Structure formats: C-alpha cells, structure tokens
Chains A and B, each alone.
Chain A
Amino acid sequence: MTSELRESTDASRDGAVQLELTNVYKRFGGVRALRGADLKVTGGGVVHGLIGENGSGKSTLLGVLSGQIQADEGQIFVDGKPVSFANPTVALRGGIAMVSQETALADELTIAENIFLGRRMARGFGGIDWKATRRRAAEVLERLELGYDPGWLVERLRPDQKQMVEIARALSMDTRVLILDEPTSSLTNDEVQALFRAVRQIKATGVATIFVSHRLDEVFDLVDELTVLRDGCTVAQGSVDGFNTRSLVDAMVGKEGAWHEYARPSSASSARGGTAPALQVTGMTIPGHVDGVDVTVEHGEIVGVAGLVGAGRSELLEGIFGLRPVTAGTIAIDGSVIQARSPRAAIRQGLGFLPPDRKHQGLVLQRTIDENLTMVATLTRSRWLPPGGNELGQKVEEVAKTMRLRAASRRALVSTLSGGNQQKVAVGKWLMADPRVLLLDEPTRGVDVAAKSEIHELLKGVAATGVAMLVVSSENDELIQLADRILIMFRGRIVASVTAREADLPTIARYAGGHI
C-alpha cells in the first residue's frame, strides 16, 4: 500500500524531511486515540493530505503537532531535529500554525488588527504603529491574492472570508507548516476554488501545508502526498500518485474491496398498516442551515442522520425541538401537526431532545442523579407543593437499573460520575418522561467503548417499545450499528437515504461529501 516517498523538493535542507512525527501514542482515559501514528511532510512547499474517517485520530494528531495535546509517546522532528511543543505558543514559535474548523477571530476588530492579534507593532513610546500594522497586513493579504482591505471589520465578512483572514494570520507569523483542519467542510464550490488558489499561492512561497479533508476529489486535486489514519494508526502514506479513489477508500475503511458502487438510495420504508408516522417533518427550512427537509420516522424506528460538520444535522433537530426559528415546513407527531415554539412546548407535545454537550446542555452537574433524572418528568407538577408520592422514586430506580448506572447512590452529584455514566443520566432523564419521539444529537460523544455499547442497547430497547428516534452522529459506524435507516445531509439538504443493511462507511462518506 505504501508508495515510495517522493524525493523531497525545493526547500528541504540536507535531504532531511521538513517535519516528521513518529510513533505517536495518546490515550484519553480508556480510549486509545492514537496508537503508533506517523506523519511525514517531505519538504517546504508541499501540500500534505491527512485523510481518515471520523474518530480515526486526525484531530488528536493535529493537536499533538500544534502543541494543544501532549502525546504519551512519540517524537516530533523539525528539519531532522527533535522538538517538543508544550503548548500552542511554543509550536507557533517553531513555525507550525493551525487554522481550526471554528474561526477564532475578534469580530469587532479590523482584518489588520486580527492578523496581528496578540503581537503589537509598537513604535517606541508612540504606542501602536498603525501604519506599519496596515502595511504588513496588506502584504500578507497580497500574498494570498485576496482583494481585502486591511481596514475592514471582521464581523462584516462571510465565513469563508473569515477563514481566509485566519490563514493570513497564520502566514503572518513566519509559519513554515500551515495546518488546515477540514477547511472546506462549510464552503460552497466557488469558495473551495478560492481556497485552493490560496493554498497554491502558499505552496509557491515554500510553506508546507497539511490539509485535512473528507472529500476525496479535493485530495486528488490539491495534494502532493498523503497520510491515511485508521483507528489511531497510520495505515498508508506516500505520494498521491500511488493512490486512486478505490485504494484510498480501502485504506480508510480497512477492508479490501470496500468500494462498491451502490444503486440509488432506497425510498423511505412505507408507513405500517396505515397508522400515521410517529414523526413527520415536511419542507422544514431554517435559513442558512436547513433547506426544505422531509423526514419521516415510524413508531419504533431509529433513523440516523449523517453528514459533515455544517451540513445542518444538529440544526434540523434543534428546529424540530423549537430551539431555532423555522421559516417553512410542518412538524406532525402521530399525525397531528404541532407548534413547538419553545423546548417546553415541544416536550409537552411528546418530544425529547438529548443535546450534544452533556456538561453544559444536558445535565446540571452540581445536582444529584435523582434530581437530574426527574427534571423533565416533574415539569408539569406544581412548583409550590412538596414533591409527592413515591412512584417517581420507583421509576428512577427502574431506569437506573435498566441503564446499569454505576453510582454510589442516587443522591450522588452527577459531577462525580464518569463520562459514560453521566451520559446515561442525560439519556435517562428523557426516558423518565416517556416521550413519543426522541431526538438525539451525538448520543455517545466522549463515552468509552463499553458504555457506548450499553447506551446503544438501551436505545434499541426503548425503540422496541414504540418510541421513534432521530439520531445525529458524526461517527458513521455508530449510525450503521444503531439505526434502521440513515439519511445523509449535505449543505442543508437530505441527499440520500440508505437502509442500515445496505449502508457502509464508504457509501455514507461518498454521499456526505456531496457525491451523488
């Protein structure tokens, strides 16, 4: 699989590779994110693609490289010399800058100020030298062939322009290796082309670029050499000439012949015996996020929603739950149209929503397991009368038992639990409320493998009692394990629907990347 490394090009010195990571290991609690990953950027002016499924360890590896994460084992070499990056500042000083998926700019400042954020161009006692700041900013923008005025306010820029400003900011710091983490995930085709032009400009100035992407056509368009990660290991690396689409997908998925051509997506399964579906969403539109989406979930069915970051998956769930203003479309539960303008209204109509961030959105960490579990179930009780009856206590006991919740006592604070058990409480509080439709956003994020499979079993068991579920996950294999049917979103639309039996990772990855 590994192709011969391309002879290092122009800027490499003494034949040493520009940047090399060898045998990197990293463990987060029980999860081994990296187990022997390698990455080798062979010279300046090289565009290096880093490819892998979600959860393959790309982000962790980039975190190690940019000083945000400390590896348990492994070494980093720059120009053949071992270095260690204790934090991002040290990495920046070593010439390694990262532009992450979320933009980190100060909206109220100008482009020039943002480019030099944290570094002031002072002029003796005269304070900030605004002239020099603007001139230097203009130079960097010129290098990227961008027609931006350094005096523009960042808040007026489009997301893709903000990304360019971040790239300009990274380049202004004498960067030798620029890391772009999925820069195209939320861009339109024209914007992608503009980004590619910028990357080629960067390449021409001798700066190496590490380019992370899900979209295989981009890889072949832009990249000179690449590294494929799977399950925290480097499974293939070398010049891009040694790969084709087929061999690349096989390497990512780890199965010979994983790349099959599939028929058009199957139509949604028909309603059972004429009863109305548990959840029916028609023509839902949330400006900028969701564009005329139809979803039908039958009683007892688990429907997965796959797609890239920014495809509108979470926004779809939030729209259904009344968290986002919906400009068009209807939502019906058991055939009757509902109006959910707030979470409370949605809950009272039989909906439940597990948010992706359990620590801030899903749970109140400083309260007890008991209180968190009963938070939704007791919503309609009088706020002033004492909590009555023991029937809730029994139900808590039951739910805790089905979930195999491991805790010293039901009155333990949720903050004292492990991540997996916290997530069980976050799920359990919805089970306590007997919803008819459960919306789950990343139901097992940051949970260890054992708890993950327990939560999956639990959800399947609940679905078997007739509860309909709509599950968003960025881990496609989770959706394949859990869902009966998987919808794939791309830029606000549902582009495909596949049954779990015919779904596999390459199919989902292909649709999610916008290839119909």
Chain B
Amino acid sequence: MSMNLAASGEPAGSAPAGTDGANVARRAFAATRHFRPVLVLVIVLLVYFSLDQSVFLTSSNIENLLTDVSVLWVVALGMTFLLLTGGADLSVGAIASIAGILAAKLLDLGVPGLPVVILAVLFGALIGAFINGFLVGTLNLSFFVVTLASMITLTGVVNIWSGTKSYFVNSPLINRIGVMNTLGLPTAIWIMIVTFVIALYVQHRTYWARDVYAIGGSRVAARLSGIRTSLILMSVYALSGACAALGGIITTGRIGAATPQPDPNLPLQAIAGVLLGGTSLLGGQGGVGGTALGVLFIGTLQNGLSLSGVSSFWQQVITGVILVAAVLGDRITVRGGIGGLIARLRARSVAAQASSAEP
C-alpha cells in the first residue's frame, strides 16, 4: 500500500523522459514528505498489532478494518480538496443523512437502485455547490460559519422531511454496496479503491486540481491570474457534497436502513484524517495520498485496540495526541530536523528576554 502511494505521489506532468531510476526514486521519496510521519505510524501500528494479535492479519479482519472506515474514507477524500482550498465542510454528516433519506424515499416510489444512487449523489453535489459553495465562493462568507449553519439547517430539514423515522431499505444494489462482495472483495472496498484512484488522477493530472492548489496558496494571486475562483470553490464543495452523499448510501447499505440522525463525528473525523495525512489547514499543501494513510491510521487503531479489548475511549485519546504530534512532526521534518526546531524556540525566547530587559 505504502509503496503504491509513494510512487503515485509525485507531481503531475513532471516525469521527463529518460531520467534514471535513482532519480525517480528520490523524487518519489520527496513526494512523501507531507505524510511521512503518518506513514511511519501506520507501519508501526500494523507491525505491532500483527505481532500482538494473531487474528489481526487475517484477511477477514483486514476486510473488516477497511469496510469499517469506508464511509470515512470516501468523505475524507472529498474533504481533502476542501482543505487544500483553505476551507472545510462541517455539513458532510447532514448531507450523508439527507442523501440516505432521499434514496429510501425514491426506492419507496419504485425507482430502481442505480438511478437512485446516482440521484442521491447528484443531490449531495447540488447541496454542496449551491448552498455551501455559493455562500463561501461567491459571497465570500467564512466556510466555518456557512458549513456550521448548513449542518444545523440540514439536520433540521432531514428530521422534518422524514418525520424522524428511519426507512428500511431493501434494494439489491444498496445492499450490495453495504454488505455484499463483488468479485471476491466487499463492494465497499472496491468503492474505496475506485474513489482513491479517481482522486489521485484528479489531483495529479487535471488543471482543476492546480486551480484548487493555487486558490489555497493565494486566492488573490489565483484571481489575478484569471482563475475563476468562485466557480472552482463551488465545484470543490460540490465534490465534497457528492462524496458525503456516497458515504450516506454506503451507511444506508451497511445498516439496511436510512436514518435521519446524522453522524456528528463524521465531519470532524474526516478533517482529522486529512490533517493526519499532512494536508495543511491553511490550504495549498498536501493531497489525497496522505488522507488515505490518515484514515487507515484511524481504522487500524480502532480495529487493533478493539481486538486487544481496549476501551474505544483510549482510541480517541490516542488519535487526538497523534494528531498534534503528526502536525508537529511535519514541521520538524520540513524545517531541518528537531535540532532546527529547538534552535528556533531558543532564538525566540532569547529575543523575548532581550526586548524585556531593555530599559
């Protein structure tokens, strides 16, 4: 997994013909710099749990581990592009829930499974584009206020619309997405693979992603270069909305019912996964490779600790501590090792003393 990521993690349109293997390897290594800390952590966790728990490395457990994080995975991939623009979406849980209810209602009307899934995902994209994206991208409101407000509003809407009751879903396609296998693997894992490959392609091989990075780096510079910043921002929120809706469909399939109670942890956990993967909250730096590792870290920790019989609250404690440590670790590697960090802290305190000692 990690080799795979490293090789595909290099910048787009960059490999000139005829470079030797060492060069390519060096560049591949350089491309991992944003998620090196979490890469190390995931490997450590994998080694530790496979030595500690004999069931950990069985194929059925790995399948469990992955399908447990499939919703988080899909939502976090969409969220990555938002963080790259310097934003985030707190309403993904509500969008997932409303998409599930929409799917259930459409199924009740007798619409077949495939159109239902497509319509639900489109619906999520529309909410993202025309509520969150419009308010943030065109009216320049703060993403935090906007997505917090749409989270609250949509949670209310989904409860009113469903009459607070859950809908049982008995569609072959949605069941297959949630709990069945396709070609020998759980369908949810196939969805993880496909969404990841698409996200990698988009990130590395499209001008759209370059616009996203440019906006995150400097929205003013992007606008002055002629990039349609409002339109791009709307499309990023649309993407995040679509991913959330897909997450909602997977959840519906896994439970076998659509519920009007949004998962309150989903948005923040998705943001945590993206941050663990080395994407900057300020925008412009990072990518989906790191996000995949960040989500894998959360999943591995969850799975391994529950196998060891450790309380899930410990998993929260560890995730929180590691989140800060990973961001700090990134800073250390970026700016010349831990020695550099200490030197900078010392210089700062010396300067503070000097200025306060002044008459």
Given that A87-B355, A344-B228, A429-B225 are known contacts, is A364 also in contact with B207, CB under 8 Å in the complex? no
- Distance in angstroms between the alpha carbons of A353 and B205 in the assembled complex: 28
Tell whether A454 is near chain B: CB-to-CB under 8 Å: no
Q: How far, in Å, is B236 (CB) from chain A's closest CB?
A: 12
Given that A344-B227, A362-B224, A376-B225 are known contacts, is A371 also in contact with B358, CB under 8 Å in the complex? no
In the bound complex, residues from chain A placing their C-beta under 8 Å from that of B11 are 368, 411
- From A89, A363, A379, A387, contact of B12 by CB (8 A): A387
Residue of A nearest to B215 (CB): A364
Residue of A nearest to B17 (CB): A390
In the bound complex, residues from chain A placing their C-beta under 8 Å from that of B218 are 360-361, 363-365
Q: Are A365 and B226 in contact (CB under 8 A)?
A: no
- Distance in angstroms between the alpha carbons of A385 and B12 in the assembled complex: 12
- Distance in angstroms between the alpha carbons of A370 and B214 in the assembled complex: 13
Q: How far, in Å, is A120 (CB) from chain B's closest CB?
A: 20
Residue of A nearest to B230 (CB): A342
- Distance in angstroms between the alpha carbons of A297 and B226 in the assembled complex: 23
Q: How far, in Å, is B201 (CB) from chain A's closest CB?
A: 8
- Distance in angstroms between the alpha carbons of A347 and B217 in the assembled complex: 21
- Distance in angstroms between the alpha carbons of A378 and B214 in the assembled complex: 13
Residue of A nearest to B284 (CB): A366
- Distance in angstroms between the alpha carbons of A85 and B227 in the assembled complex: 45
Q: How far, in Å, is B30 (CB) from chain A's closest CB?
A: 9
Q: Are B214 and A379 in contact (CB under 8 A)?
A: no
Q: Are A383 and B213 in contact (CB under 8 A)?
A: no
Tell whether A348 is near chain B: CB-to-CB under 8 Å: yes
Given that A84-B358, A86-B355, A383-B207 are known contacts, is A364 also in contact with B222, CB under 8 Å in the complex? yes
Q: Are B213 and A387 in contact (CB under 8 A)?
A: no
In the bound complex, residues from chain A placing their C-beta under 8 Å from that of B12 are 387
Q: How far, in Å, is A335 (CB) from chain B's closest CB?
A: 23
Tell whether B285 is near chain A: CB-to-CB under 8 Å: yes
Tell whether A465 is near chain B: CB-to-CB under 8 Å: no
Which residues in chain A, 312-371, are within 8 Å of chain B measured between CB atoms? 323, 343-344, 346-348, 353, 355, 360-368, 370-371
Tell whether B197 is near chain A: CB-to-CB under 8 Å: no
Given that A343-B226, A366-B217 are known contacts, is A385 also in contact with B206, CB under 8 Å in the complex? yes
In the bound complex, residues from chain B placing their C-beta under 8 Å from that of A368 are 11
- Distance in angstroms between the alpha carbons of A361 and B14 in the assembled complex: 25
How many B residues face the partner with a CB closer than 8 A? 29
Which residues in chain A, 70-89, are within 8 Å of chain B measured between CB atoms? 83-87, 89
In the bound complex, residues from chain B placing their C-beta under 8 Å from that of A353 are 224
Given that A378-B207, A383-B206 are known contacts, is A364 also in contact with B224, CB under 8 Å in the complex? no
Q: Are A371 and B210 in contact (CB under 8 A)?
A: yes
Q: Are B226 and A364 in contact (CB under 8 A)?
A: no
Which residues in chain B, 317-359, are within 8 Å of chain A measured between CB atoms? 354-355, 358-359
Tell whether B89 is near chain A: CB-to-CB under 8 Å: no
Q: How far, in Å, is A177 (CB) from chain B's closest CB?
A: 17
- Distance in angstroms between the alpha carbons of A353 and B224 in the assembled complex: 8
- From A355, A361, A384, A387, contact of B13 by CB (8 A): A387
- Distance in angstroms between the alpha carbons of A382 and B202 in the assembled complex: 13
Q: Are B213 and A364 in contact (CB under 8 A)?
A: yes
Q: How far, in Å, is B222 (CB) from chain A's closest CB?
A: 7
B186-220 vs A, CB cutoff 8 Å, 1 = contact: the mask equals: 00000000000000000001111011011001101
Which residues in chain A, 228-253, are within 8 Å of chain B measured between CB atoms? none
In the bound complex, residues from chain A placing their C-beta under 8 Å from that of B221 are 355, 360-364
Q: Are B354 and A383 in contact (CB under 8 A)?
A: no
- Distance in angstroms between the alpha carbons of A93 and B12 in the assembled complex: 55
Q: How far, in Å, is B125 (CB) from chain A's closest CB?
A: 15
Tell whether B223 is near chain A: CB-to-CB under 8 Å: yes
Q: Are A343 and B225 in contact (CB under 8 A)?
A: yes
Q: Are A379 and B284 in contact (CB under 8 A)?
A: no
Q: Are A387 and B207 in contact (CB under 8 A)?
A: yes
Tell whether A222 is near chain B: CB-to-CB under 8 Å: no
Which residues in chain B, 252-297, are within 8 Å of chain A measured between CB atoms? 284-285
Q: How far, in Å, is B85 (CB) from chain A's closest CB?
A: 12
Given that A367-B214, A384-B208 are known contacts, is A90 also in contact with B355, CB under 8 Å in the complex? yes
Given that A367-B217, A387-B12 are known contacts, is A375 also in contact with B358, CB under 8 Å in the complex? no
In the bound complex, residues from chain A placing their C-beta under 8 Å from that of B211 are 383
- From B217, B226, B355, contact of A379 by CB (8 A): B226
- From B14, B206, B214, B355, contact of A364 by CB (8 A): B214
Q: Are B208 and A411 in contact (CB under 8 A)?
A: no
Q: How far, in Å, is A122 (CB) from chain B's closest CB?
A: 22
In the bound complex, residues from chain B placing their C-beta under 8 Å from that of A355 are 220-221, 224
Q: Are B224 and A343 in contact (CB under 8 A)?
A: yes
In the bound complex, residues from chain A placing their C-beta under 8 Å from that of B213 are 364, 366-367, 371
Residue of A nearest to B16 (CB): A393
B12-55 vs A, CB cutoff 8 Å, 1 = contact: the mask equals: 11100000000000000000000000000000000000000000
A382-413 vs B, CB cutoff 8 Å, 1 = contact: the mask equals: 11111100000000000000000000000100
Residue of A nearest to B212 (CB): A383
Q: How far, in Å, is A399 (CB) from chain B's closest CB?
A: 15
Q: Are A86 and B207 in contact (CB under 8 A)?
A: no
In the bound complex, residues from chain A placing their C-beta under 8 Å from that of B224 are 323, 343, 353, 355, 361-362
In the bound complex, residues from chain B placing their C-beta under 8 Å from that of A264 are none
- Point out which of B225, B226, B228, B285 has the most chain A C-beta atoms below 10 A from its C-beta: B225
Residue of B nearest to A375 (CB): B225
Q: Are B228 and A382 in contact (CB under 8 A)?
A: no
Given that A379-B225, A382-B207 are known contacts, is A86 also in contact with B358, CB under 8 Å in the complex? yes
Q: Are A344 and B207 in contact (CB under 8 A)?
A: no
Q: How far, in Å, is A411 (CB) from chain B's closest CB?
A: 6
In the bound complex, residues from chain A placing their C-beta under 8 Å from that of B227 are 344, 375, 379
Tell whether A381 is near chain B: CB-to-CB under 8 Å: yes
Q: How far, in Å, is B252 (CB) from chain A's closest CB?
A: 29
Residue of A nearest to B210 (CB): A371
- Point out which of A93, A376, A381, A387 has the most chain B C-beta atoms below 10 A from its C-beta: A387
In the bound complex, residues from chain A placing their C-beta under 8 Å from that of B355 are 86-87, 89-90
A146-188 vs B, CB cutoff 8 Å, 1 = contact: the mask equals: 0000000000000000000000000000000000000000000
Residue of B nearest to A385 (CB): B206
Q: How far, in Å, is A361 (CB) from chain B's closest CB?
A: 5
- Distance in angstroms between the alpha carbons of A386 and B204 in the assembled complex: 9
In the bound complex, residues from chain B placing their C-beta under 8 Å from that of A361 are 218, 220-221, 224
Q: Are A364 and B217 in contact (CB under 8 A)?
A: yes
- Distance in angstroms between the alpha carbons of A353 and B220 in the assembled complex: 13
Q: How far, in Å, is A509 (CB) from chain B's closest CB?
A: 31
Residue of A nearest to B283 (CB): A366
In the bound complex, residues from chain A placing their C-beta under 8 Å from that of B222 are 364, 375
In the bound complex, residues from chain A placing their C-beta under 8 Å from that of B13 are 370, 386-387
Q: How far, in Å, is B343 (CB) from chain A's closest CB?
A: 20
A83-125 vs B, CB cutoff 8 Å, 1 = contact: the mask equals: 1111101100100000000000000000000000000000000
- Distance in angstroms between the alpha carbons of A382 and B354 in the assembled complex: 56
Can you name 5 A-B residue pairings with CB atoms under 8 Å? A360-B221, A361-B220, A365-B217, A384-B206, A411-B11
Which 7 A-B residue pairings sit nearest by Cβ, starting from the closest?
A: A364-B217, A383-B208, A347-B226, A344-B226, A386-B205, A86-B355, A387-B13
Given contacts A371-B214, A383-B206, 10 further A-B contacts (CB under 8 A): A89-B355, A323-B224, A347-B226, A360-B221, A364-B284, A366-B213, A370-B14, A375-B225, A381-B207, A387-B206
